[in-house]
Structure 1
Amino acid sequence: MTFEDYKRKILEHYSSIKNDSNHQLNRFCNNITPGKIKSASKIILETQNSKQDIHTLSSYFKIPINRDFLKFLDSVDADKLIPVKQFLNQITKEPREEVVEFSAWLLNFNPRPYSKFINNKGLIIDNPPKGRGGDDFPPEPKNPWKKIVITVSFISSFAVILYFVIDRQRKDCMIWSEDHYVVVECGKTNSPDIALNRNLLENFRKIKPDTTMTFFKDGKALFWYDKTVGIEFFTMPGTHPTNGKTLKPVSQTIVRKYIYGEE
């Protein structure tokens, strides 16, 4: 089961919702907009807020996991959710991993995240999200209480089983260790952890560059830096792993001054 399989299954799930007029997310998926994604996210967060789901939101929005996400979603610019719409509508062919995982959470695609999808050998768990009425979701049945009690009991039981049988055996997070990320169990270390990101895990490194290295290709920077404490160089763009600041691409000035020692 590759990450491409994971993306394909999520998109198939999205398509099946669009084609099922009785599905609770049908109206939302057939006319998806960043604004509706934002509105739906606030509703979904009230029922889909496991530790892994919070890590997914934290990774997507690049904010600490201890934030009040409901308040954050109230203030977030809906344009930040455009990548989700573009992925689901297959406009973006190579979406970021955080976009894919956020989409899986939004559609309540199971199993998620990708590590659990692999563990389950790609078998899909049918567990549609609950709606609350309004523009984003169809209304609930007139007498839903019995159904709600049964559904909540099932979801609670399933969540407990999933946690003890799978979550405790999986390593779905990572922490920064000196010059690279390492995989850890979520919440099991004293260091701040983030959701597992294969691209960062395999390719993001802090390096000590020297004059033998190539710093530009076709006029574009091949390395990025941060000058908060001295100067540090990294192999990928993004945010600094410990201070959260956005890394800057190296320039000719930076290379001449800090690599070649020119004044």
Structure 2
Amino acid sequence: MGLKTSSTYRDEILEKYKKEKGGEMSSYLIEPTRKQIKEACLWLLDKRKEKYDDRILSRFFKFKEGENKMHAIERVNGDKFKPIVNFLTGETKSTTPANLELISWLIDFRPRPLSVYLGSAYDAKEEVVQEYNHQRDQLLHFKKETELSKIPETQVIHENNKSITIISQINPSLKITTIVSL
């Protein structure tokens, strides 16, 4: 998968819409009208409640504090949905971020919103970095164990209060004797 951007977000949302014609909401979105989009919003309001959905709806509908959301959507002028219809029917190639987020909510595109979508690319990079670090740590551990196995066999052959005599065998033909004075 390539780099995730706001353009790829828009394109993937539109691709999902074209492929599924709105999925669960196809009865409203297969040939969208302003009225059908409004009705879809009303129908989904209490049914689709992912983590960021409330923010998506508040951004598009500009709900007032404590306002009944169902009544607020019912009062929205249908012209507010015209740019969404134009985008879904291909009359326009782009739309506002708030419109795009509402579409993502309507068709249940995931991950949404854009910030989460872009964050999922970051998370994927993090997974790659974590896997790299894990493999690097395993390699370093293996290297350390291998180096330790190359340490010559060492024995203390004599010890008293004044010195220690150590013998190390590097290979079968070479032995080194070390005397350490205390």
Q: So what's the TM-score if we normalise by structure 1? A: 0.42
Would you say 1:119 and 2:119 are equivalent positions? Answer: yes
Matches within 5 A, 1:183-202: none
Q: Distance in 1 between matches of 2:41 and 2:113?
A: 17
- State whether structure 2 residue 79 is matched by structure 1 residue 79: yes
User: Are 1:83 and 1:95, in contact at CA under 8 Å, matched by a contact in 2?
Assistant: yes
CA contact 1:54–1:65 (8 Å) conserved in 2: no
Identity %: 29
Gaps of 5+ in 1: 123-263
The higher-RCO structure (CA 8 Å, 6+ apart) is 2
Match of 1:128 in 2: none
Correspondence for 1:40: 40
Deviation at 1:83, TM superposition (A): 1.4
Q: Does 1:63 pair with 2:99?
A: no
- Report what 1:107 is aligned to: 107
| Residue in structure 1 matched with residue 95 of structure 2 by the alignment | 95
Q: Counterpart of 1:91 in 2: which secondary structure?
A: coil
Alignment RMSD? 2.3
Amino acid across the alignment from 1:24: E
Structure-2-length-normalised TM-score: 0.59
- What is the DSSP-based 3-state SS (H/G/I as helix, E as strand, rest coil) of the residue aligned with 2:24? coil
C-alpha displacement of 1:25: 2.5
Q: Among residues 4, 8, 12, which one is paired with 2:7 in the alignment?
A: 4
Give 1 or 2 for the bigger CA radius of gyration: 2
Once the two structures are TM-superposed, the CA of residue 105 in structure 1 deviates from its matched residue by: 0.8
Q: Which runs of 5+ in 2 are unaligned?
A: 123-182
Which of the pair is proportionally richer in helix?
2
The answer to whether the Cα contact below 8 Å between 2:32 and 2:88 also exists between their aligned partners in 1 is no
Aligned length: 120
Query: Aligned equivalents of 2:17 and 2:29: distance in 1?
Result: 7
Choose the corresponding residue for 1:14, options 1, 13, 17: 17
Q: Is the 8 A contact 1:55 1:65 kept in 2?
A: no
Deviations 1:149-188 (A, max 9, x none): xxxxxxxxxxxxxxxxxxxxxxxxxxxxxxxxxxxxxxxx
Looking at structure 1, the residues matched to 35 and 54 of structure 2 have their Cα atoms a distance apart, in angstroms, of 20
